[in-house]
Structure 1
Amino acid sequence: MIKSELIEKLAAENRHLTHGEVERVVNVILNGMTDALSQGGRVEIRGFGAFSVRDRPARAGRNPRTGEAVDVPAKSVPFFKSGKELRERLNASGDA
């Protein structure tokens, strides 16, 4: 599901809200999550999962075309850990 599909689904289920209002609500939520993560915080949605930031140290990499050594700088990356309810729903549908 992409952002526009989420907005369409929410607008269809909440006919009392305009498409623009639903889009603003989704944007406020996503911007709030982004701001919290960019400040080093954590975002937890009970039953769904938790987003956090992990730091990756600088390392030596290789250019795949030339094989030349390249310095890869340190960076922060988002990390998602699924919640118990989400894992249970995903695994319940795949009883093999």
Structure 2
Amino acid sequence: MQLHLLNRSVASSHVYRDALRAMGDDDYLLLIEDGVYGAVAPLVEHFSSIAGRLFALREDLESRGLEERCAESVIVVDTEGFVQLTEETERTVSWF
């Protein structure tokens, strides 16, 4: 099990496609920094194939004024939740 970190918006970069292709069936994806734009409609639709395994960092949502617009399908975690995800997974892969 791996934790994939995506820090780029799906609106401005296609690196999310590489991340999705690299993900295993039990891997998680955490949207951080500008990646959290992918947690709002309609951009969240790009992640429909990983429902239940898509996370967004609360602090980054808040700093961009997106917390209230975050899709219900996205699991929002704070920094402590981020740390917990890293502890639950064998390794972390960053997509920048």
Name the TM-score, length of structure 1 as normaliser.
Answer: 0.22
Q: Hey, which of these two has a bigger chunk of strand by percent?
A: 1
Decide which structure has the larger Cα Rg and report it.
1
Larger relative contact order, structure 1 or 2 (CA cutoff 8 Å, min sep 6)? 2
TM-score norm. by structure 2 comes to 0.22
